[in-house]
Structure 1
Amino acid sequence: MNERTLTLTHLTYAGSGRPDATLDFAPTFTLVCGDSNTGKSFIVDSIDYMLGGHTAPAIPHAEGYSQILLGLLLPDGSPLTLVRAPGSNNVHVHEADLRGLVHAAPDAVLSARRTKNRRDVSHHLLDRLGLADAYIRTNEAGNTEHLKLADLTHLAIVTDERMVDQTPPSQRVRGNAAKTAARSVMKLVLTGEDEPPASKVPNAAQRRIQRSKIALLDQLVIDLSAKQTTEENTDQLRARQARLAATLETVTASLREATEQQSLIAAERTKHTEAAEALAVRLGEVRDLLGRFAILQQQYESDLARLEMVGEAGSLLGYFRTGRCVFCGAEPEHQEPAHDDHETTHLHEAVTAEAVKTGALLADLRLTITDLGQQEQELLRRQERMRARGAELDRTIRTIEEQLLPAKGELDRVLAERSEIERNLEVLARIGELDEHRAELVAAGALPAKRADSLIPGRTVQVFDSVLQRVLERWNVPGTEHAGYDPYSGDVRAGGQARADHGRGVQALLRSAFSAALAEYCIDRRRPHLGFLVLDSPLVTYGQLSSEDGEDPAPEVNDSFYRHFLHSPGQTIIVENTPPPPDVVEQAHVVMFRRAGNGRHGFFPARPGLA
């Protein structure tokens, strides 16, 4: 392995309930070609995103995938997997080759964006490449900063947008301000020499801006100071905050104990209320029975009185009335001697029997009424005791509530005081930050001596130009003789014209040739480079324009272009619409995407409802 290059091994999208979408990369040449709208450019954009890009690529097929995995081999040959959620700035680093949904704890969590403490993907990978301490110049005044991974990725990863963009190939963004940094990066990759570090110092115009910033900072400090409610400093506030914490713990413990007691009493009061309600129901039932039995007793007593009256009336009727028998209706001539006495005896026996039965029932009823009366009295006594106990529980609850009021008031006071302390601490911290920033602006106000320009030796540029020319000749691109790189404009020229003066198809090929030549130059000479090259649609525009002109040199360029990368150093990944010649298919790792028919339909597995 080259001790200063990386190798891409795979790109994987994983998500719960989704089939993994994976593409493996060969260590030498991988070609992904096929129909449009099958996810080819999405692959390149995803690689760029995983190496610190800011915009997550998005297509309908990617919905539901929660992790993006990019596998790499480090310069020493050990595996590394970067895991990033779409839209997240956090990148999980695993020192292993992972190719599915990851649940394991990462070996490191880094930021996708550059941070001051250098806990980011840029510093992590540059450190593995031995470039963590490399500096580049950022402006004509001689200011420097650490090399960023983005300073190298745009040279190695050419998306379809960058392929035909008018931005010079050596620059990450367009504009004169970026030329100095781009030239410094080119100096680093072509010569292996970085810039000596220098403090960032402003020029005259920048110093005027800094003075305005200082005035603004002073005003902000005044405004923040007006929001302070105390004269205490940070140490005094923190000491008072610690004392409040102890007080808060004491008050909270007291409240917790009283609240727990109140909860127990309230639970007992609830059970007591339920028991009192059940007692009242039972008392109502007893009183209802007593009422019913009193009516029945009156009925029995009335029956006995009537029976007594009937017995007496029968005797009277039997003795004082002559003639027809009042019992059987017989006429005197048909009555036997002592006929009235006999019938009166029968009546008396019947009345007596009924009276005995009714009297027995009445006696039982009176016993029952007496028992129910005793139950009623016992229930009334219990009810009175329960009322007393309920009143006692209510008084206890009110007493606890009265005890809680001062504690709650003390808690509110402590919390309010704590909030006030926190606000004052926040104001002081903000004032401290502004004072620190102001001090930095004041300290950076000295005008530095003029530093020598960052120049690339002419001999080095000539060697690189020869590599660039050789690449274009291998591709058989017409009209590109005398190709070379201009360190001042940052662009390339060929055929006596600047890149921008050529057609869009040739512009794309010149852009591809620049990155391909740079990779070959750096890898062969062990100069700083990522070690891989990723090109998105370098041929499609050239082929379309050639067909429109009526000429057909595109197939020759197409085949020569692909064959070149069979023997180029490092790793190359190309996505393109046009297919390669048969010999390239046999020797390279070729992945064909076809929207119809047999074979792989695209980067993502086919899902119902998505074309």
Structure 2
Amino acid sequence: MVIGLRIQKLLFLSNNTSSSIEFSNSVHIVNGASNTGKSLLIEAIDYMLGAENLKKVSESAGYNEIVMQIYLNDKPYTIFRKWPSTTFEIYNGLTESKENANFYNHFKIGKPTKSVNNISLFYLEGYTNTQISSNLFGEKSALTIRLLSRIILSSEEKIIRSDSPIIVGDTSENSKNKNVFKFLLTGKDDSNFETVTRGNEFKSEKKGQVSVLTDIVKTLKSNLIFSDDSYESLNERSEKLDITIDELIVNIDLSQHALSEIVSEKKKVSNELMDVSERINIIQANLANFKILKDIYINDIERLTSQEEAAFLIGIGHKGKCDVCGNIPKKIDKDLIEINILAEASTAEIKKIDSKLVELSDTNIKLDKQRILLLSREESLKIKLKNLDKKTEKRVPELKVGDHSLMTLRSERARFEIDLSLHERISFFSKKLQEAELKPVPKKYEAKAFYPENDAIDNFCRIYSEILKNIKLPGTNHVEFDYKIFDVIIDGNPRNLNGKGVRAILHSVFKIALLLHCRQKNIYHPGVVILDSPLVTYRDPLESKYGELEEDEKKLAETKISYHFLNYLHSISKFGQFIIIENIDVPESLKSIISNDTFYGKKAKSGQRVGLLNC
């Protein structure tokens, strides 16, 4: 995936017609006669990159909208912008008409609204939080496509100027432009720089801060409970109080431990007393039941004894014979037998009951003994429990007094701690107050604080030198960077001291070297370089508005640097897109590898293109 921008096609639309130019190759040359719209092409691209205005020309009458097809981070988009307008309509994919197109979003220039973002958010997705310092006070703003447009575009006017290629334009934004250059060289923005408060603003803030701190100290002092005591005396009293509290806690702990043992013993005695009482109740219930059983046994014996005696009386003197006939009747004989059996059974049952009565009597004796012992134990436990209650009643008031004393002492210590804390805060804010009163007006950063790191600059200069060697620039091509002018010095000669044509080619190399540095270091770069007249040194001295060639330009014009320059762009075309606006013809040997559009102007013949807006 290629991170950055590639321009595919630019279209100018009117109600009746359209005019377009397609950039089919990574290196594209637009050349031809003057006044054919070459400069308008660059200005139109800048307009689609968020420039506020695009001036109309005589040829643009009727054209009311511009369309730019692009690939952004390898994704195709089409951007529509009315001419003039402050808003953009962006569609997914490459299209020349909005009809049936896949709408993406609206964007605008200037401040965003609630629903429409600034165009920078589209072009710089992922980098809109990048902070760029605007000055040496560290005041920052977000990176924008407008700032990067100065890296992307070099107009004919700017390319020959003696200013640094990175700071040309509004001098009030020179610091910002330098810091954009630093960001591209290092990949590091300025978010770590704290903003320095300016003089008058600082004095106002200082006055307000001193006033606030004074009020805070005054309020804290008024909240002191022991206003006449110093921090040291309060701390000493607090320490003594801590010792007293610790001793009291030990005593309370001992009392609580003793009370805990009493309570534990009381619980044990109470449980045993409950158990003994329950056993006594059970024995007494058994004894009552045994008494009832004993009465039942005695009644049974009396009943059986009566049966035995009755049987005995019935059988005495009765031989079972009839007094008349002397015979023994069968029925009488059977009854006598049954009476004897009943008497014998009664006797046997009486013996069993007598045996059970003996056992019951023994059991009663044993249970009664147990009852007497348990009653004695019960009385002993009651006495013991009463004594434990007395001990408890004695300990509880002691604990209450100790707890009350502890609460009182802790309350006193809390008051000390409040004042100690207040004293610490008073000391802290008093120190802050003194620091605020003594704080000098902050100095703005030195310029070198924002300089790129040396290794980044060294690599940039190395790449710059290699490009000069590849395009066969005369000299040893030793490149250094001068922070005073924020530009290169080549073979000891500052770039700005060269003639217009040499400055133009060196300006171009500056922008190209920056792109290659970013690609080598995997640092963000827009990925497009658009140059207007980088080879102006080959101008016709009689027809060109820039006049005769200077001596260094004459030497350069005698070389084949135009060929080497364009051929070098082709060799690095995989790293970005290069759009070159020139007056010179493309060398024949390069026409097969570099795409080209020629505007012939008034001299155009049949089949030849007149200009940008006159196909």
**TM-score, normalization: structure 2?**
0.55
Corresponding residue of 1:582: 588
Given the alignment of the two structures, is residue 98 of structure 1 paired with residue 95 of structure 2, yes or no? yes
CA distance in 2, matches of 1:102, 1:125: 24
Given the alignment of the two structures, is residue 72 of structure 1 paired with residue 70 of structure 2, yes or no? yes
Corresponding residue of 2:197: 202
Larger Rg: 2
1:186 to 175, 181, 190: 181
CA distance in 2, matches of 1:155, 1:500: 18
1:49, distance to aligned residue in structure 2 (A)? 1.3
Greater alpha carbon shift after TM alignment, 27-36 vs 177-186: 177-186
1:547, distance to aligned residue in structure 2 (A)? 6.0
1:206, distance to aligned residue in structure 2 (A)? 5.3
Corresponding residue of 1:50: 48
Counterpart of 2:43 in 1: which secondary structure?
helix
Letter in 2 for 1:44: I
Question: Aligned pair in 2 of structure 1 residues 161, 547: CA closer, same or farther (>3 Å)?
Answer: closer
Q: 1:231-254 CA deviation, whole Å, 9 max, x = no partner? A: xxxxxxxxxxxxxxxxxxxxxxxx
1:96, distance to aligned residue in structure 2 (A)? 2.3
Corresponding residue of 1:87: 84
Corresponding residue of 2:38: 40
Answer yes or no: is the 8 Å Cα contact 1:506–1:542 preserved in 2.
Answer: no
Unaligned runs of 5+ in 1: 212-445
Corresponding residue of 2:104: 107
Question: Aligned pair in 2 of structure 1 residues 491, 173: CA closer, same or farther (>3 Å)?
Answer: same
Q: 1:141-199 CA deviation, whole Å, 9 max, x = no partner? A: 22222111122111121111211233321115343x53432232122111111122567
Corresponding residue of 2:608: 600
Q: 1:555-605 CA deviation, whole Å, 9 max, x = no partner? A: 611111111111112111111111121221011111122232244323445
Answer yes or no: is the 8 Å Cα contact 2:8–2:24 preserved in 1.
Answer: yes
Question: Aligned pair in 2 of structure 1 residues 139, 578: CA closer, same or farther (>3 Å)?
Answer: same
CA distance in 2, matches of 1:447, 1:533: 43
Q: Percentage identity across aligned positions?
A: 24
Letter in 1 for 2:582: E
Letter in 2 for 1:581: P
Letter in 2 for 1:26: S
CA distance in 1, matches of 2:482, 2:52: 29
Corresponding residue of 1:224: none
The within-5 A match list for 1:140-151 is 140-151=136-147
CA distance in 2, matches of 1:65, 1:169: 33
Letter in 1 for 2:496: A
**TM-score, normalization: structure 1?**
0.55
Corresponding residue of 2:236: none
2:565 to 557, 561, 580: 561
Given the alignment of the two structures, is residue 12 of structure 1 paired with residue 11 of structure 2, yes or no? yes
Given the alignment of the two structures, is residue 528 of structure 1 paired with residue 510 of structure 2, yes or no? no
Question: Aligned pair in 2 of structure 1 residues 187, 552: CA closer, same or farther (>3 Å)?
Answer: closer
Corresponding residue of 1:397: none
Corresponding residue of 1:26: 24
Question: Aligned pair in 2 of structure 1 residues 165, 106: CA closer, same or farther (>3 Å)?
Answer: farther
Answer yes or no: is the 8 Å Cα contact 2:68–2:80 preserved in 1.
Answer: yes
Question: Aligned pair in 2 of structure 1 residues 486, 156: CA closer, same or farther (>3 Å)?
Answer: farther
Q: 1:313-348 CA deviation, whole Å, 9 max, x = no partner? A: xxxxxxxxxxxxxxxxxxxxxxxxxxxxxxxxxxxx
Answer yes or no: is the 8 Å Cα contact 1:168–1:174 preserved in 2.
Answer: no
1:166 to 143, 162, 173: 162
Greater alpha carbon shift after TM alignment, 86-95 vs 116-125: 116-125
CA distance in 1, matches of 2:54, 2:102: 23
User: Matched residue pairs, number?
Assistant: 368
Question: Aligned pair in 2 of structure 1 residues 90, 447: CA closer, same or farther (>3 Å)?
Answer: farther
Q: Root-mean-square deviation (CA), in Å?
A: 3.0
Letter in 2 for 1:584: L
Question: Aligned pair in 2 of structure 1 residues 34, 449: CA closer, same or farther (>3 Å)?
Answer: closer
1:449, distance to aligned residue in structure 2 (A)? 8.2
Unaligned runs of 5+ in 2: 207-439, 542-547
Letter in 2 for 1:557: I
1:139, distance to aligned residue in structure 2 (A)? 1.6
1:481, distance to aligned residue in structure 2 (A)? 2.7
The within-5 A match list for 1:341-356 is none
Counterpart of 1:66 in 2: which secondary structure?
strand
Given the alignment of the two structures, is residue 478 of structure 1 paired with residue 467 of structure 2, yes or no? no
